[in-house]
Amino acid sequence: MMAITGTPGVGKTSVCRALGIEFIDLNSLIAAKGFYTGVDNGSLIADLDKIEEYVKRAELIESHLAHLLKPDVAIVLRANPLLLADRLIQKGFSAQKIAENVEAETLDVILIEAVELCEIVYELDTSVKSIEEVASQVREIIDVETAGESGRKEALRASYKPGSVDWTCRF
Count of structural domains within the chain? 1
Could you tell me if residue 171 is inside a domain?
A: no
Q: How far apart are CA 74 and CA 59, in angstroms?
A: 12
Return the pLDDT at 44: 86
Return the pLDDT at 150: 81
Q: Give Cα separations from 159 to 29, 92, 113, 156 (angstroms).
A: 32, 34, 20, 5
Looking at residue 43, which CATH number applies to its domain? 3.40.50.300
Could you tell me if residue 169 is inside a domain?
A: no
pLDDT tens sequence for the chain (171 residues): 999 999 999 999 999 999 998 888 888 889 898 999 998 887 888 998 889 888 877 889 999 999 999 999 999 999 999 999 999 999 999 999 999 999 999 999 999 999 999 999 999 999 999 999 999 999 999 999 998 778 899 999 999 999 999 888 766
Determine the 3-state secondary structure of 106 from DSSP: helix
Could you tell me if residue 103 is inside a domain?
A: yes
Could you tell me if residue 63 is inside a domain?
A: yes
Q: How far apart are CA 159 and CA 75, in angstroms?
A: 13
**Residues sharing a CB contact under 8 Å with residue 132, sequence separation 6 or more, in sequence order:** 18
Could you tell me if residue 170 is inside a domain?
A: no
Stated pTM of the model: 0.89
Could you tell me if residue 108 is inside a domain?
A: yes
Could you tell me if residue 17 is inside a domain?
A: yes
Structural domain of 60:
2-162
**12 contacts 6 by C-beta, under 8 angstroms:** yes
